[in-house]
Structure 1
């Protein structure tokens, strides 16, 4: 039987050639093993924050320009802890669903009874820790100028019983809760301040509730003609960064550290309106 011809490679040379060919592959594998843990660590230190689709200047902008004061406070506090924040803007109801599914890590909320029952707020001495809030906002009521009712700071004065239906932006539970406490039917489907003002002008609702900081935008549109604000704010409420109740230990530690930073930095001059 004829023998195969040898190509003349010595065993040592052949082994060296194999090692030479495998070296680039080994280097690539080592590089990948170094990159993958780094990527995983970065993901574990990234927080996706859902802010809703509302703009509350100067505290919260719409994402098209520079961050609002409260957004900058969150960014700076996270940076000091080696965390990275991503702001996402969806309607309030969708934000809640994304938070429940784990696609978002946190959301800005007021401590309404419903929110307190579902989400994790910073607590102290059996209550919400106001020192760890992101911002404090006032809620105000807007009515048609010909409406004969007003708010004196404690009770609603409505001698002609004109007030029946109140309106709030979709997903804004704190405003809907106020309307319910006033005994009003709630329309909580408006997607913008303009739509809310149009409903008020068209007499589909009798009272609209917004944050005071939203008034300039709300009352500047033609739809706001013939509307006026109640004499006094309906409520001052704190807004907190909240997460699901059950978090992995590392996330829980990051959240609590972030709350602590917010408490330390919030009163600094750079986060105050000028």
Structure 2
């Protein structure tokens, strides 16, 4: 079986990927388990995410770890499929985009539509999947803030009605800094699956191997011990999710 190279974002995306390869994220742990079981060497390199994508497009890198199946990434990579649809059962993991409101607010989200929403929803600048999720739900996104903390402050200041962020990023931040001021709405805005996606060049040469590797991800994923953000002793970088 062929060995291959795979890139991750060079910014921490805790607990999913971590550029400190001696302290890997959950998706890296799944990759390690699969590679070990199959007797394959996977060389993981941490790159700026845009360079990771361009290296995948050019074939300099064979795969990316933690890519979302969106139109942009479909142009340059191959995802596991079931029929004509991406196969979520063979993803590396999922991340839930959650909404946060002021504790005193009557704004809500019931899983299908917003209730009493009058102002925009704050999202971190450049987080394309999150922006798409908010706007697909017929809300206006405010993309002025670079971090979750900036957007939580904007929420507390009554400049927006809600803010959106990844569940793992938000939990510790809210508990540490804003426990009485804001509340996370239990119903997720969207649950996004993230994948090992191969470059089109690599997949054209090794399509059978790709299927074997994806199938092993599905078999191993739930048996690999997972880690939470508190295991890493570092701050997640929310903008690491840009273009995923």
Q: TM-score range by the shorter chain?
A: 0.7 to 0.9
1:218 and 2:163 aligned: no
- For the residue of structure 2 that corresponds to 1:242, the secondary structure is strand
* TM-score (normalizing by structure 2): 0.74
Match 1:149 to one of 107, 131, 147: 107
Q: What TM-score do you get using the length of structure 1 for normalisation?
A: 0.67
Q: 1:169 to 1:62 in 2, by over 3 A?
A: farther
Does 1:68 pair with 2:25?
yes
Moved over 6 A (4+): none
What is the CA-CA distance between 1:190 and the residue it aligns to? 4.9
Using the TM superposition, give the Cα deviation of residue 183 of structure 1 relative to its aligned residue in structure 2, in angstroms: 2.5
State the SS of the aligned residue for 1:162: coil
Higher-Rg structure is 1
Q: CA deviation at 1:203?
A: 4.9
Report matched runs for 1:105-254 at 5 Å: 105-107=62-64, 108-116=66-74, 118-158=76-116, 161-168=117-124, 170=126, 172-188=127-143, 190-203=145-158, 205-222=160-177, 226-247=181-202, 249-254=204-209
Cα distance in 2 for residues equivalent to 1:194 and 1:116: 31
**Structure 2 segments unaligned to the other structure (5+ residues):** 229-244
Task: Pick 1 or 2: higher relative contact order, CA cutoff 8 A, min separation 6.
Answer: 2
- Indicate the RMSD between aligned Cα atoms, in angstroms: 3.2
Once the two structures are TM-superposed, the CA of residue 103 in structure 1 deviates from its matched residue by: 4.3
| DSSP 3-state at the match of 1:247 | helix
Query: Aligned equivalents of 2:132 and 2:182: distance in 1?
Result: 23
Number of residue equivalences: 226
Question: Cα offset for 1:74?
Answer: 0.7
Matches within 5 A, 1:22-33: none
Look up the match of 1:21: none
Of Structure 1 and Structure 2, the greater helix share is in 1
Partners in 2 of 1:236 and 1:133 — Cα distance? 12
